Amino acid sequence: MSVLLRLAALGLVAWGLLDPRFRDAEGIPTGAICLPVSLAATSAVLALAWRTSWRKPGLWLALALAGQAVSLQLIDAGPRLHYQHYQTLSWILAYQPWHLLFLVCQTILVARGFRGRWGAVLGWLSRHLRWWQIAGVAAVFWLTAATVSEDKRRYVIELAFAAFLQTVSLGNVVLFAWSLPKDAVDRLRERLRRWLEPSASAGGLDPFAIGAALWVTSAAAFLNVVSYERHPHIPDEVVYLIHARYFAQGKLSLPAPPVPEAFEVDLMDLEGDRWFSSVPPGWPAVLAIGVLLGVPWLVNPVLAGVNTLGAWYLIRELYDPRVARLTALLLAVSPWHVFMGMNFMTHTATLTCGLAVGIGLLLAQRRRAWLGGLLAGLGSGWALLIRPLEGFILGLFAAGWIGASILRRRVSVVTLMACATAGILLSVSALAYNRILTGDPLRFPIMAYTDERYGPNANALGFGPDRGMGWPLDPNPGHSLFDALVNSNLNLFSMNIELFGWSTGSLLLLAVFLMTRKWRPVDAIMLAVCVAVFTAHLFYFYSGGPDFGARYWFLMLVPCIVFAIHGMDWLGGALGLGKDVYVMLAVASLALMALVNYFPWRAVDKYHHFEYMRPDVRELSCKHNFGRSLVLVRGQGHPDYASAAAYNPLDWHAPAPLYAWDRSAEARRRVVEAYSDRPVWIVEGPSLTGQGFRVVAGPVQSSELLAAETNP
């Protein structure tokens, strides 16, 4: 039987690779390809367990693995900018009835598995949890399974369906843990304890943490190359890269393009003869290091690995080596963390600053006053240069902690002076930067840009009808408390799916901890970070969107992982002496399922050509040898022109392809006249072709093109 299962695994992989139904019209794999790959992994699991004492848990694990893979195929996620939702029942019955039938079979098998065990389950719950604790855990578990829709009826139905699938999956994983062979678990227990609990006196870097950090960097870099294609996909990322490139040349702005409307890029501001990025300078300055080294795509993967080490060190000092190792491990298998490390966005660097603040405060408490204060000040100050709101939160947190410690005589005034000096110097540099670009030290370029484009206070904090920029995912015009609650729902849902990528939802263990644990001071500090981030963003009109999870809440990542570990520990203790290993193996099974199912599905289904941004012009330039030419890009500003604009040289007269937006006949005429000495190519973008970029004409002499325009 095991031989047949191995052959089935190979056959399923071949099916996924060869069947054209798993590819789009261009031959690119779609998210559907993840199903045969997952079923191949399911067969491999069964093959490994078939002739061992692990056969029964192997069957339950295989069922859970296949169940998650099937349920993911029922989700409408994809590269479009929208929150993911389950398809309607009518759609599923019309296009994927066999998927639904499998989930029905899984439900029946799980229900049969609990037959005769309900008494034990209910008895355990009544002994260890009060009714309000059960209600609280259930509310978090079920109410975050789906997010709001404009159609209230659809939302209620989808929420019930998603919560049901999470419940079935949870039951499946419980049955896996329940069926684990006792003798094998006993052999594993001591080995896991030695592996996860190094000597508390061990100093220096932990090889385990180093391994986790290297894995995170490697995984994020691999995804950036294969899924993200080393290409920006979000409008902000295009500007970050342009900003970093001219910072790398020692410039604070660029000359205005000769025909501004033909080179317009969102978030790039034009003032007189200057063209500059309106976003804060902190992240582009970091990204410029990668530009100088020729690997800007590698900056965030490296920072994600650094953050893994930083989180390990911080948690080791706050808790113990075991919790620190588990934190590093869960960071290594967190889709939220790894996919954020894949992109060109600001949030991974902001987390680096947040960890620097935490480590600096710890160093200060150990009487390394000036060093700890300096690190905390640099962390909060640089965060202010990257994401001002998060920098403000971290600065208040550092100042409050140092002030309270001075009153308790745990640190000296030197710590406060070092922290304040570093923070003030970086803040002054931000004011100087503002002064150069806007003429007012207190006016940030991004605020000047949004006020001019969308109206005064469009990007400001607070409530009112003047907030917001009319984005499709903004719940309502303006910003109100109701909108803030909707944004919170969107972010909680995103955390539930992205934090760990578990089929049971990612917030279950956090809910268990929040409802059961007796708080320690260090837990309260972790919770304070979450509350501060949550509260501050209540006053912002936008949730952050579905790009890379609840990205505006990314500073909550490490506290959430610590809370999940606490929830896991509580469950292990409540099950009885020596039963913690069952919980750990259940969590390991969920992490394995996420690695097999969720990571590939998310990388292929959503982030490959996300928002229809593609690096095709980079390849077309080599294929057609554009050289010193003018390339007119037809289509929308985003994604069509934004994808091409990322490859424009900083010098408008460089001997390289210049990509201009063919947005109107007048803009086309002016830009062709401005570059009359260059041959012209015309390409159509994805919004016109429905696929990739396509060359439709060229090379054409500018005089011929102008004549054709004059005499059509």
Over residues 181-210, the pLDDT tens digits come to 988 888 888 778 777 777 655 567 888 899
Determine the average pLDDT of the residues in 601-608: 94
| Count of CB atoms situated within 10 Å of the CB of 685 | 28
Q: Where are the beta strands (DSSP E) in 609-692?
A: 630-634, 658-661, 680-684
Instruction: Determine, yes or no, domain membership for 609.
Output: no
DSSP 8-state secondary structure symbol assigned to residue 260: G
Rounded distance, CA 86 to CA 93, Å? 13
Checking if the pLDDT of 352 tops 90, the result is yes
Query: Which two three-digit tokens encode residue 580?
Result: 């913690």
pLDDT of residue 70: 96
Instruction: Determine, yes or no, domain membership for 625.
Output: yes
Instruction: Determine, yes or no, domain membership for 197.
Output: no
Over residues 147-191, the pLDDT tens digits come to 998 888 999 999 999 999 999 999 999 999 999 998 888 888 877
Q: Are residues 31 and 175 in the same domain?
A: yes
DSSP string spanning 442-510? TS-HHHHHHHHHH-TTTT-SS-BTT-----TTSSSSSB-HHHHHHHHHHHHHHHHHHSS--TT-SSHHH
Of 628, 583, 626, 619, the C-alpha closest to 692 is: 619
Q: Are residues 10 and 127 in the same domain?
A: yes
pLDDT of residue 649: 95
Over residues 518-551, the pLDDT tens digits come to 778 889 989 999 999 999 999 999 998 888 989 9
State the chain's mean pLDDT as an integer. 91
User: In which band, very low, low, confident or very high, does the pLDDT at 24 lie, cut at 50, 70 and 90?
Assistant: confident
Determine the average pLDDT of the residues in 633-646: 94
Query: Which two three-digit tokens encode residue 348?
Result: 């991974």
Q: Are residues 250 and 355 in the same domain?
A: no
Instruction: Give the lowest-confidence range in 15-24, 116-125, 402-411.
Output: 402-411
Of 562, 591, 543, the C-alpha closest to 215 is: 591
Instruction: Give the lowest-confidence range in 206-210, 228-232, 399-403, 692-696.
Output: 399-403
Asked whether 655 and 628 are in contact (CB, 8 A), the reply is: yes
- Number of separate domains in the chain: 4
Q: Are residues 245 and 313 in the same domain?
A: yes
Q: Are residues 323 and 409 in the same domain?
A: no
Q: Are strands 630-634 and 658-661 parallel, antiparallel or unpaired?
A: parallel
pLDDT of residue 682: 94
Q: Are residues 298 and 246 in the same domain?
A: yes
Q: Are residues 311 and 430 in the same domain?
A: no
> pTM, whole model, 2 decimals?
0.94
Q: Are residues 215 and 174 in the same domain?
A: no
Most confident option among 295-299, 405-409, 459-463: 295-299
Q: Where are the beta strands (DSSP E) in 245-377?
A: 254-255, 268-271, 274-277
Domain containing residue 227: 203-344
Instruction: Determine, yes or no, domain membership for 379.
Output: yes
Over residues 232-273, the pLDDT tens digits come to 999 999 999 999 999 999 999 999 999 999 999 999 999 989
User: In which band, very low, low, confident or very high, does the pLDDT at 92 lie, cut at 50, 70 and 90?
Assistant: very high
**Residue with tokens 């263990």, as numbered in its chain:** 509
Rounded distance, CA 299 to CA 290, Å? 6
pLDDT of residue 237: 96
pLDDT of residue 5: 78
User: In which band, very low, low, confident or very high, does the pLDDT at 56 lie, cut at 50, 70 and 90?
Assistant: very high
Final residue in a domain of this structure, among 329, 344, 359? 344
Rounded distance, CA 585 to CA 177, Å? 7
Instruction: Determine, yes or no, domain membership for 591.
Output: no
Rounded distance, CA 676 to CA 258, Å? 13
Q: Is the peptide bond before 639 cis (omega within 30 degrees of 0)?
A: yes
| Count of CB atoms situated within 10 Å of the CB of 623 | 10
Instruction: Determine, yes or no, domain membership for 48.
Output: yes
User: In which band, very low, low, confident or very high, does the pLDDT at 704 lie, cut at 50, 70 and 90?
Assistant: confident
DSSP string spanning 499-566? SS--TT-SSHHHHHHHHHPPP-HHHHHHHHHHHHHHHHHHTSS----STTSSGGGGGGHHHHHHHHHH
* Amino acid symbol at 508: L
Backbone angles phi, psi at 118, to 5 degrees: -65, -35
Final residue in a domain of this structure, among 406, 422, 454? 454
Over residues 285-305, the pLDDT tens digits come to 999 999 999 999 999 999 999
Instruction: Determine, yes or no, domain membership for 538.
Output: no
Q: Are residues 262 and 285 in the same domain?
A: yes
**Between 400 and 298, whose confidence is greater?**
298
pLDDT of residue 218: 97
Instruction: Determine, yes or no, domain membership for 501.
Output: no
Of 506, 484, 606, 603, the C-alpha closest to 546 is: 606
- Tell me what percent of the residues of the chain surpass a pLDDT of 70: 98
Final residue in a domain of this structure, among 320, 344, 368? 344
pLDDT of residue 710: 63
Backbone angles phi, psi at 681, to 5 degrees: -115, 150
Q: Are residues 268 and 367 in the same domain?
A: no
Q: Are residues 51 and 135 in the same domain?
A: yes
Q: Are residues 144 and 164 in the same domain?
A: yes
